[in-house]
Amino acid sequence: MAETAVAGAVPFQWEGTDRKGNKIKGKSMAANEAAVRADLRRQGVVPSRIRKQSKGLFASAGKITPGDIAIFSRQLATMLAAGIPLVQAFEIVGSGHENAAMQKLILAIKGDVEGGSALAEALAKHPLYFDDLFVNLVESGEQAGALETLLDKIATYKEKTEAIKKKIKKALTYPAAVIVVAFVVTIILMIFVIPAFEDLFKGFGADLPAFTRVVIDLSQFIRNQGWILAGIAGLAVYAFLYFHKRSRAMRHFLDRMALKTPIIGPIMKKAAIARYARTLSTMFSAGVPLVEALESVAGATGNIVYEVGVLQMKDEVSTGQRLQQAMENTDLFPNMVIQMIAVGEESGSLDEMSAKVADFYEEDVDNAVDNLSSLLEPLIMSILGVLVGGLVVAMYLPIFKMGSVI
């Protein structure tokens, strides 16, 4: 019943008094007002006012991001560590969430838990937001009676991996944005500005400089055949996205090329190693067997080249090979990482040494991205200046030539 109610839930705002007579207010997701009253009575709240929350003209349900899941993990871990019961923790986190979609998800999980499902089982019903790694760690925490500890590890893991993703996006977004701006400015100049100069030059009665002629011809081609080029470019982008989503071979090729790309490649490699080490540390510290942990670690690296390498390591470790030797065989990890993992294996502290590797490479990615931004900014601005400046010079060359003749 709880799941059905949540499926058609709408937001309600309520005011009332708790068991001590204190006035309180909050928000709840429910199918109707009666469901809200029943839920508040279970919490010991006497409602004095309940009204359906109105949606603004431009309001939207929102979407759930990995960052939302990371924050949810930290909130839940903090509340359980403070001794708050699981169902009540879900109620507090869900009712106070600003994202309606996230609120609905949390209260749906709460309904399943109230119905007798284990937390891991309830989370597994939403694989779009909680992957196998998340569910397996929660299940381990429930079985060991240390759910708050495991949730704390999950929260830390999610926060670290999201920070890495944001750094990578930062490294790629700035140059991409500047390139797009340069492209748009160039097209505007070609379509609207160059033709005005072309009309002006027709009255000169003299041959135009070669550079100017080339730019004018290019402008004419874009104006006459630009729609064909735009259509081809659109189809190319669509085909790329289509096959990138469906073809593992294509993603493997692109990920391999990304690792070999100058400047960006080393950052991508460090990020993959950081995610590998962070996930391995989290899984192993939760008591997950190494072979089983490597299965989840492979999918968390964020790069198919490393995913294939880690799965190869899993097969070798399952036959009795040491993790250190399996890592060497992939030829994907620096010697420093392999040696630290070897020390962890020898000393029985693989989780701690993996965490140290993750800390080191996460900091290294931070520094590399900051340095990359500092290096790319003047380079990109120079390219943009040469591109736009070249068009301006091409248009003014005939004017300079005519001035020298006069």
Q: What is the DSSP letter of 190?
A: I
With CA atoms as reference, report the closest residue to 153 among 72, 73, 82: 73
pLDDT for position 29:
67
Residue whose pair of structure tokens reads 């989290």 in the numeric block = 282
Tokens of 117: 């499902």
**Separation between Cα atoms, residue 247 and residue 34, nearest integer Å:** 50
Q: Residue 26 forms beta bridges with which residues?
A: 14
pLDDT string in tens for the chain (406-residue length) = 333 334 455 667 788 887 777 788 777 766 677 777 877 887 778 888 888 765 443 344 568 888 888 888 888 888 888 888 888 888 888 776 777 888 888 888 988 888 888 999 999 888 888 888 888 888 888 887 888 888 888 888 888 888 888 877 877 787 788 888 888 888 888 888 888 888 888 776 667 888 888 988 899 988 888 888 889 989 999 998 888 888 888 888 999 998 998 888 898 899 999 999 998 998 888 888 888 889 888 888 888 999 999 999 999 999 999 999 999 999 999 999 999 999 999 988 998 999 999 999 988 988 888 887 777 778 878 888 888 888 888 888 887 776 654 4
Q: Model-level pTM?
A: 0.68
260-263 LR contacts (CB < 8 Å, sep 24+): 263/372, 263/375
What's the pLDDT score for residue 323? 94
Angstrom distance (rounded) from CA 118 to CA 121: 5
Place of tokens 């989503």: 245
Instruction: Report the first-to-last Cα separation within the chain, whole angstroms.
Output: 91
State the Cα–Cα distance between residues 21 and 149, nearest whole angstrom: 34
In this prediction, residue 338 carries a pLDDT of 94
Q: In this predicted structure, what is the pLDDT of residue 404?
A: 55
pLDDT score recorded for residue 402: 66
Please tell me the predicted confidence (pLDDT) of residue 60: 44
Kindly tell me the number of DSSP H helices and DSSP E strands found in the chain: 17, 3
Q: What is the pLDDT of residue 57?
A: 36
Asked if 354 and 323 count as a contact pair (C-beta separation under 8 A), the reply is no
**101: number of Cβ within 10 Å:** 16
Angle at 99 between CA 98 and CA 104, to 5 degrees: 110
- Residue 325: the pLDDT is 93
H helix or E strand, kind and range, residue 29: strand 23-30
What are the distances in angstroms from CA 211 to CA 41, 157, 208, 236, 321? 81, 56, 8, 30, 65
Task: Write down the pLDDT at residue 403.
Answer: 60
61-96: b (≥16 Cβ within 10 Å) or e: eeebeeebbbbbbbbbbbbbeeebebeebbbbbbbe
Neighbours of 13 (CB within 10 A): 15
pLDDT at site 36: 79
